[in-house]
Structure 1
Amino acid sequence: MTIATNQKDPETFWERNQHGSIVNKLHLNAFYDVLNRIYTDVLVQTAADCNEFRACATMIDRSKLENVILVVDRGYENYNIFAHAIEKGWKFAIRVKDKNSNGIASGLNLPPNDEFDIDITQIFWRINTKTTKNAGYKWMPVNQVFDYLQRKSDKTKQVNFTIAIYICREYLRNKRNLSPPDVINLIEKHVLPVRPGRKDPRKVNPQAAVSFLYRVA
């Protein structure tokens, strides 16, 4: 939506148009109920903050509608939107780019024919190693938004070696049905913070064993 020109407003400043004029804009995102012919939600973004993927996910999360079939064009081809719709319990039909393009379909093992009906399961992981690939995990880069996978933390942490050794030992003994990515996930859940520049380092005092006599009559 084009609004009044204001060169001093960096939030709405868009660009110079084909005639060389400065344009200020707002971006309108909306959900429309085609059966009842009404708008059910609207989210307005500034030009600087325009992100249709985020807007769609936000409107999905805050909607109170049930029994929804979300129908959107290929501009909303995004795994994060798929996940938000699934978590909401919505069905969805989203057009994707051709399998010979750079869209989602290009990374899938699809039949060569033009028409097909198949089920595809994707399991995402932030770690890209040979182990995770062999286990069937699809790598999700940290710069790609996916709200249901934690990004790399800004805080430096260290492994809790006591817990990590126990987890690895249980895995090697094959007492539990764990795959390598599950082992990594368990270790990541038991990490300790590293506090650079800490003047009073943590002091760990070993505890001596306490013996006692137990008399059985």
Structure 2
Amino acid sequence: MNSYKHLKNVLFHIINNLSNVCSIFCVNPDTDFTRNRKLDFETIMKIILCMGSSSIKDELLKFNDFSIDTPSAFVQARSKIKPEAFKTLFDAFNKKTFKIKLFHGYRLLAVDGYELPIDNTIFDDETTELRHGTLAKAYSAFHLNASYDLLELTYDDIIIQGEAKKDENDAFCQLVDRYDGHKAIFIADRGYESYNGFEHVVRSGNKYLIRVKDICSQTSITRSLGPFPEGEFDIDVFRMLTLKQTKTTKACPEIYKIVTKSTRFDFMSKDDPWYEFNCRVVRFKITEDTYETIITNLSREEFSMEEIREIYNMRWGEETSFRELKYAIGLNTLHAKKRKLIQQEIYARMTMYNFCQRIVQEIKIPKKDKIKYTYQINFTRAVHIIREFLRKKGGKNPPVENLIAKEILPIRPGRK
């Protein structure tokens, strides 16, 4: 069982190991953290990890139990640490505490993007873009591309891009290529459909299930895969992708799909301009007159149309997690303006989210007689409890699980 005590020990052990080789993660490895100070590498990592939505001064006081000896110069100290230290912490903690949960033998990994507005008084080419119009202002943001385990309810990987240079399809391919775990189904919404992305998943040995614009849309990828019948259907499709623009390839769109120079596809070249593409297109009704269209490489023998629909509906769990990440964990309340320091906090918040979810998912809610509703843990209250006791130094481990088990909310049927 992933108890609070066990997870805390694992987390702090990883931070301690990073501290032992901290020069790797320092801006100036020959001078940073070479002298003994109260704000050493390990302490800075823990402070940033435990930060909530209060001001920096209040967060420092909380971390030091409101001691009169609370150190200053925190911003100068944290500026010595590269964001890669927090990404390494995120990855290492996942590796040591992850519990595999499967759906028909597969992990379900939802991939989606999230815009995180940041301070716009600092301009750079990556995060800042000018909005057009009479009231045009500089707008700055990071774009978070994350893969989220829908069954374990934790983030598996993340790629941070500047909003001005964001490329969700490239980020999707990177997330797929970096994945080396149990066989998985990568699930994504509209905007992630591309032949390149599909084949990156196929080449990785995994599966994909991606919602695309409906067949009625003039800009849907299905325009090059049809024609399709009206209503619901479940059809296997073949196309020969090619770089060749000949009379034959242009005259037979039901066989050939021409990949233009402006379209990225990593698996063809001038020397080898042909590529066989196979997929399954599923269209099902969601209301009386609206449909969803899915492209996948899941076989019909393994997954029926109803199971395809069920898996796609589960993708909404990532949208819920973004809300919890913003408000319960505090990602929308940043304590920095410099881009590198903001990235520190993004990775720290993602790690804290996983830390809290792995505790919450193991807690059993006490059953009561004559109850009207099914109950769930109040995640926001759980985060406050966990963060408070994570700051505590030494002494006995408090009954965190018992405290969280009392913080419950009813699940009211019919609410969205």
Q: TM-score, normalised by structure 2?
A: 0.35
2:265 is the counterpart of 1:146: yes
Change (3 A) 1:105 1:89: same
Whole-angstrom CA distance in 2 between matches of 1:7 and 1:109: 48
Whole-angstrom CA distance in 2 between matches of 1:6 and 1:17: 18
2:148 is the counterpart of 1:32: yes
2:209 is the counterpart of 1:82: no
> Counterpart in 2 of 1:111?
228
Change (3 A) 1:38 1:17: farther
1:99-157 C-alpha deviation (Å, 9 max, x unpaired): 1211111222233221111110121111110233567332100110011112x69xxxx
Give yes or no for contact 2:176–2:200 (8 Å, CA) kept in 1: yes
How far has the Cα of 1:20 moved from its partner? 4.8
Of 117, 124, 138, the residue aligned with 1:22 is 138
> Counterpart in 2 of 1:100?
216
> Counterpart in 1 of 2:248?
131
Whole-angstrom CA distance in 1 between matches of 2:132 and 2:144: 19
Q: TM-score, normalised by structure 1?
A: 0.64
Can you give the 5+ residue segments of structure 2 that lack an aligned partner in the other structure? 1-115, 275-416
Can you give the 5+ residue segments of structure 1 that lack an aligned partner in the other structure? 154-180, 183-217
**Structure showing greater relative contact order (alpha-carbon pairs closer than 8 Å, 6 or more residues apart):** 2
Whole-angstrom CA distance in 2 between matches of 1:80 and 1:146: 5
> Counterpart in 2 of 1:176?
none
Aligned length: 154
- Matched-pair identity in %: 37
2:56 is the counterpart of 1:56: no
How far has the Cα of 1:4 moved from its partner? 1.5
Task: Give the stretch that moved more between structures: 129-138 or 65-74.
Answer: 129-138
The 3-state SS of whatever aligns with 1:48 is helix
> Counterpart in 2 of 1:191?
none
> Counterpart in 2 of 1:46?
162
1:176-196 C-alpha deviation (Å, 9 max, x unpaired): xxxxx88xxxxxxxxxxxxxx
Q: Quick check: which has more Rg, 1 or 2? A: 1
> Counterpart in 2 of 1:210?
none
How far has the Cα of 1:93 moved from its partner? 1.0
Give yes or no for contact 1:98–1:106 (8 Å, CA) kept in 2: no
Of 238, 250, 254, the residue aligned with 1:121 is 238
Between structures 1 and 2, the one with greater helix share: 2
Whole-angstrom CA distance in 2 between matches of 1:73 and 1:100: 17
Give yes or no for contact 2:225–2:239 (8 Å, CA) kept in 1: no
1:31-80 C-alpha deviation (Å, 9 max, x unpaired): 00011111010000012320000000011001112220111101111111
The 3-state SS of whatever aligns with 1:80 is helix
Whole-angstrom CA distance in 2 between matches of 1:112 and 1:35: 34
Whole-angstrom CA distance in 1 between matches of 2:141 and 2:224: 35
The 3-state SS of whatever aligns with 1:106 is helix
